[in-house]
């Protein structure tokens, strides 16, 4: 019995080994078949990828050309619109209707009016200053003339007073008993005639002088002030 069992075990072991070998051969053949099929599939897929890439590349180029054309058209359209706007704005400026022209023009007009007003005020002030200076110079010249005239009057008056004093001294020094009364009288008449002529040349001061003194004109106000402008 034990021998029979050992044989059976050996037979089953041999059968198992054969089955394993068959399975291994089947699996290896399947692997080879799968490898062959995968290689064929890879070749077909690579060919399909190249065609797809080429097709997509052509589509991208076409799309890029279309985009470039659209961009060029939009750029030309924008240029024409901007040119039209500039021309219309130039027409408005030339016609005087553009806001960009009217607003600065209004500011310039306002500045011109202000400056014109300031120039007018400055002109009036300058004219008033010149007028005041003219009046001041005229008054100064008139006062200088009056002062010089009074100084001349004082000089002539002093000279005449000195002559009168000398005549009085000569009259007192003459010997009345010497028999020269006729000569003294003629000299006195001559001197008084010269004095009257000198007084007559003084003009309007004669009446004032006569009212101040009965013998000869004497001016009381010798230091008349002179205004300086």
Mean pLDDT value across residues 153-158: 93
Domain range annotation of the chain:
99-173+193-229
Q: What is the phi-psi region of residue 203: left when phi exceeds 0, alpha when psi lies from -120 to 50, beta otherwise?
A: left
Distance CA 32, CA 35 (A): 5
The percentage of residues in the chain with a pLDDT greater than 70, rounded to a whole number, is 55
**pLDDT per position as a tens digit, 85-102:** 989 888 888 887 878 888
Q: Is the pLDDT of residue 38 over 80?
A: no
HSE-up of 97 (CA within 13 Å, CB side)?
Answer: 6
Distance CA 98, CA 92 (A): 5
Own/partner long-range contacts of 10-18 (Cβ < 8 Å, ≥24 apart): none
């Amino acid at each position: 019995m034990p021998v029979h069992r050992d044989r059976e075990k050996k037979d089953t072991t041999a059968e198992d080994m054969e089955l394993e070998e068959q399975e291994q051969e089947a699996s290896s053949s399947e692997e080879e078949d799968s490898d062959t099929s995968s290689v064929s599939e890879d070749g077909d897929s690579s060919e399909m990828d190249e065609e797809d890439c080429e097709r997509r590349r052509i589509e991208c180029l076409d799309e890029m050309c279309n985009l470039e054309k659209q961009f060029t058209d939009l750029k030309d359209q924008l240029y024409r619109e901007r040119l039209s706007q500039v021309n219309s704005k130039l027409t408005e400026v030339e016609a005087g209707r553009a806001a960009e022209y009217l607003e600065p023009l209004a500011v310039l007009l306002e500045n011109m009016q202000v400056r014109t007003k300031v120039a007018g005020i400055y002109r009036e002030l300058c004219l008033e200053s010149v007028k005041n200076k003219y009046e001041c110079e005229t008054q100064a010249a008139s006062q200088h003339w009056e002062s010089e005239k009074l100084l001349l009057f004082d000089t002539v008056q002093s000279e005449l007073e000195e002559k009168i004093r000398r005549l009085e001294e000569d009259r007192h020094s003459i010997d009345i008993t010497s028999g020269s009364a006729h000569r003294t009288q003629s000299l006195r008449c001559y001197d008084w005639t010269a004095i009257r002529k000198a007084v007559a040349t003084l003009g309007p001061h004669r009446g004032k002088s006569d009212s101040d003194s009965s013998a000869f004109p004497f001016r009381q106000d010798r230091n008349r002030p002179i205004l300086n402008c």
